[in-house]
Structure 1
Amino acid sequence: MWHSPVVINSGIKGLLRQAYPTIAFQAAGLKSFTPPVDYSGIELPEKPKLMFLEKVPTYAANLKPPKMAKRLRFIRGPEMIHNEFIHKQYGIVALCGGRLNSGHIEMIRMTINRKMDATKMFAIWRIDPPWQPLTRKGQGKRMGGGKGAIDHYVTPIKAGRVIVEVGGKCEFVQVSNFLTEVAEKLPFKAKATSYELIEAEKIQEKELEVSNMNPYTTEYVIRNNMGGCHQWISPFDKKWFFKYV
């Protein structure tokens, strides 16, 4: 016997929805997680914290501390030696030239030693103690009378110099906060970075250089003296092509 279909009005449909809400079923699926970093090859040194650097260099008892000119060549141009990470982990790199005095060095030491976990991390210096003397004459003293007395000592820094290096059984996220805090307090531009980020920047720079379709690059313009630029640019610009100032 055939029955006609039952027509349900909208009011009954609403009651059914309230009585029997939508049921969500959980289904198990395959997930791929990044494997943890292997720190088995990393050994922490006996003294993981930054050591104190002397504010004044030590001279012989019969030697008068020598004076020196400013010698801006110590802070101009790129760093050719200490521009790579030894432990290939993390650190602070200078972006331009400048000088570090004993106050800056002590700030770096105290901040990093206080905020890093010495049970899992270690830090090493990549700079020398202050060695270059800077002279200064007394307040209100007249001109002349020879070179002034030594006021303090500094450490000259070039662009690309690794200032301090941090490593251990940790990731960059764990050290980036206090490294960035230190880098922002330095008297010149610096950044907290890692070995992987530096390598990626080098690859990106090479790709941009290869993909550049403009033949009139800065190097081409300066080498060919276009527009007579050799008359007004600096001798350092002829060497580094406006890359370092």
Structure 2
Amino acid sequence: MFSLMKAAVGGLTGVCRVNGHQQGPLHCHLKVLVAGLQTYEIPPDYSDVVLPAKPKLKFVNKVPNLKKPKREPKKLRDIQGPTRGADSFTQGQYGIVALGGGYLHWGHIEMMRLTINRKMDARTMFARWCISGPYKPITRKGLGQRMGGGKGAIDHYVTPVRYGRLIVEVGGKVELEEVKHILTEVAKKLPFPAQVVSRESLAALKKKHADMEQNNQNPWTFKQIVQGNMLGIRRVVSPFDVHHCGRFSGKFHFPGRV
């Protein structure tokens, strides 16, 4: 019996030495088997996750419910600068955040609804909107009309979006890798740059900008130059740039500027 064990080990006739101790051939064979075992991570606990009764995205009306719609000016300030709300998660763990300003048409909203609802598993995950339906009127004149004659008629409605606003959030008993390909497909089709984020990555993104301001070693920042009115720069700088310290140019955001 012992001779068969030595043959199985590989023909070892002597003893092996590990850390200066003499051990038998059977013990060496057991250590080889143990070296191949892997330690797996503990799966996440979803015991506190509660799925809503209607987990899928709701249908959004193409036109707002108004008794008497009114025409409005362009108001490009609706898409300039950072968002004033909806910049953090409420229920979900993953979502899409806007990295620039722009207008969402009803077609974009319907594309997001159909793509996410078709590819998500309603038994383990849910999705919810972080934006409202189209409410800003966009006017347009008919083809071939001459200039003048006042403002044109309302053609369609859009939803203004600013930098840092969450568009849609997804949650449930899922991990990021299970929904990342769905959200990435949606983010690529939006009319402004967008990124797939989680609760941790969104907090890290905000902390990164705060660390850049705190650990900045350049003494001449945009804020100090404007406040000191060096070379009379206040004559050519708009109040918008003074308020946001040059981090935004219209609907565009400069992530590397402090």
- TM-score band by shorter chain is 0.7 to 0.9
**Out of 134, 137, 144, which is 2:138 matched to?**
134
Which amino acid letter does the alignment assign opposite residue 59 of structure 2? F
Q: Is the 8 A contact 2:99 2:194 kept in 1?
A: yes
Residue matched to 2:165: 161
Question: 1:228 deviation in Å?
Answer: 2.7
Seen in structure 2, the aligned counterparts of structure 1 residues 114 and 100 have a Cα distance that, compared at 3 Å, is: same
Pairing of 1:1-245 with structure 2 (within 5 A): 25=29, 26-28=32-34, 32-60=39-67, 64-87=68-91, 89-245=93-249
Change (3 A) 1:88 1:108: closer
How far apart are residue 168 of structure 1 and its match? 0.4
Q: Is the 8 A contact 1:91 1:193 kept in 2?
A: yes
Deviations 1:178-218 (A, max 9, x none): 10111111001111110100112222222232222111112
Give the C-alpha shift of residue 42 in structure 1.
0.6
Deviations 1:150-192 (A, max 9, x none): 0000011111111101000001111111101111110011111
Q: Distance between the aligned counterparts of 2:94 and 2:131, measured in 1? A: 15
Give 3-state SS (helix, strand or coil) of 1:28's partner: helix
Distance (whole Å) between structure 2 residues aligned to residue 69 and residue 176 of structure 1: 38
**Deviation, structure 1 residue 32:** 4.8
- Checking the alignment, whether the CA contact within 8 Å between 1:96 and 1:244 is kept in structure 2 is no
**Residues 23-78 of structure 1: CA deviation (Å, up to 9, x unaligned):** x9514268654322111111111111101100001123xxx321111111211111
Change (3 A) 1:88 1:112: closer
By how many angstroms is 1:139 displaced?
1.1
Question: Once structures 1 and 2 are overlaid, which stretch shifts more, 89-98 or 26-35?
Answer: 26-35
1:182 is paired with a residue whose SS is helix
- Supply the distance in 2 between the matched residues of 1:69 and 1:75 (Cα, whole angstroms): 14
TM-score normalized with structure 2 length: 0.80
1:87 is paired with a residue whose SS is coil
- Once the 2 structures are TM-superposed, how far is the Cα of residue 113 of structure 1 from its aligned partner? 0.7
Q: Deviations over 1:75-122 (max 9, x none)?
A: 111112211010251001111111101001001101111111111110
208-217 or 153-162: which moved more? Answer: 208-217
8 Å CA contact 1:134–1:153 kept in 2: the answer is yes
Work out the CA distance in 2 between the residues paired with 1:229 and 1:185: 39
Aligned partners of 1:118, 1:244: CA distance in 2, in Å? 39
Distance 1:174 1:34 in 2: 17
CA-based RMSD = 2.2
Residue 154 of structure 1: SS of its match in structure 2? strand
The residue type equivalent to 1:128 in the other structure is S
Q: 1:242 deviation in Å?
A: 1.8
Q: Find the aligned partners of 1:230 and 1:198 in 2 and give their Cα distance.
A: 34
Q: Which runs of 4+ in 1 moved over 4 A?
A: 29-32
